A = this chain, B = another copy of it.
Amino acid sequence: MVTEEENVGIAKIRRIVREKNPLVHCITNYVTVNDCANALLAIGASPVMADDIDEVVEIASLANALVLNIGTLNVRTVQSMVAAGIRAMELRRPVILDPVGAGASRLRTDTARDLIRAIPFAVIRGNVSEIKTLVAGSGTTRGVDADESDWDGNALADVIASAGTLARRTGAVVAVTGATDIVSDGARVFAIRNGHPLMARITGSGCMLSALVGAFCGASPDRLLDAVVAALCAMGLAGELAAARTEKENAGTGSFRTYLIDSLSKMDETTLAGGMKLERRA
């Protein structure tokens, strides 16, 4: 179990984000980039999206965290990701990897693997298919969205093992999101049961979450594991609150998307501490 005190300590990072207003540099896909920017602004962080090789090193130098998302890969931006990642590493700023669709194509699997070799990521956040692909070196991801069957076919223990393996191998905090989220630094493990199925019915839930992880880690770089847990709890709780409002109004997924951002923007550390469904697994 997680004590009330630990809960409060983790939720407090929500406040630190607002106070520090971290600048989060995202090199990300063009599908959900607008959602990521709005999610960051909603929680009190500042986004800067820049991917040209001629400026990413400078922009990375200004930022408190860097988020690399391979959702719509191309050769041009992969080079920028490596250059920005190396600069952020030099400055000891947390770098987050979202290996979107790793396993769905050789290009994505190879790129994710190459990025992991080149950059000492602070955090790797993906769904079960993506994380298992990174552990195994190959995969069978269907498209870029989490496979619902992930959780049927895989006991939670198996997911925890994969997260731990990747964490120990890379030195990163690994977050595997799904019906239950697992966060592991290779030694300690948390399970998070926040969230709602409607989150899988809009695009960008995962990408926004990775951006938020960047903000929480950028605001609290000395407590990375707690920062990742706080970000996942905040996103999941925002999904629950937005779903409740959507269902109450008998609305649909368009309204849910709007309410998700509303919930992120209005959530304070007290709401977060009260809504976190967090348990320690190791």
A72 / chain B contacts, CB cutoff of 8 Å: 49-52
- CA of A55 to CA of B74 in the docked complex: distance in angstroms? 10
- CA of A74 to CA of B77 in the docked complex: distance in angstroms? 11
A33 / chain B contacts, CB cutoff of 8 Å: 30-31
Q: In angstroms, how far is the closest chain B Cβ from the Cβ of A32?
A: 6
A75 / chain B contacts, CB cutoff of 8 Å: 52, 54
Q: Which of A35, A37, A260 has the most CB of B within 10 A?
A: A37
Q: Across the interface, do B52 and A107 meet the contact criterion of CB distance under 8 Å?
A: yes
Residue of B nearest to A242 (CB): B254
Q: Please, what's the 1-or-0 string for A73-84, where 1 marks a CB less than 8 Å from any CB in chain B?
A: 111100000000
Q: Across the interface, do B31 and A32 meet the contact criterion of CB distance under 8 Å?
A: no
**A49-B72, A76-B74, A203-B37 given; A59·B104 CB < 8 A:** yes
**Residue in contact with A34 in the complex, picked from B34, B42, B259, B262, CB distance below 8 Å:** B34
Q: Please, what's the 1-or-0 string for A199-210, where 1 marks a CB less than 8 Å from any CB in chain B?
A: 011111000000
Stoichiometry, as copies per complex, reads 3
Q: Across the interface, do A263 and B252 meet the contact criterion of CB distance under 8 Å?
A: yes
Q: Across the interface, do A143 and B265 meet the contact criterion of CB distance under 8 Å?
A: no
Q: Across the interface, do B31 and A31 meet the contact criterion of CB distance under 8 Å?
A: no
Q: Across the interface, do A23 and B142 meet the contact criterion of CB distance under 8 Å?
A: yes
A263 / chain B contacts, CB cutoff of 8 Å: 252
Q: Across the interface, do B262 and A47 meet the contact criterion of CB distance under 8 Å?
A: no
**Residue in contact with A253 in the complex, picked from B41, B104, B143, B251, CB distance below 8 Å:** B41
Residue of B nearest to A198 (CB): B265
Q: Across the interface, do A54 and B107 meet the contact criterion of CB distance under 8 Å?
A: yes
Q: Across the interface, do B31 and A49 meet the contact criterion of CB distance under 8 Å?
A: yes
Q: Across the interface, do A34 and B252 meet the contact criterion of CB distance under 8 Å?
A: no
Q: Which 7 A-B pairs have the closest CB atoms?
A: A254-B261, A252-B262, A252-B265, A37-B203, A55-B105, A48-B143, A55-B107
Q: Can you name 12 A-B pairs with beta carbons within 8 Å? A: A34-B203, A37-B203, A38-B202, A38-B257, A41-B200, A48-B144, A58-B105, A59-B143, A62-B104, A252-B261, A253-B262, A253-B264
Binding site for B on A (CB under 8 A): 23, 29-35, 37-38, 41-42, 46-52, 54-55, 58-59, 62-63, 71-76, 101, 104-108, 142-145, 200-204, 251-255, 257-266
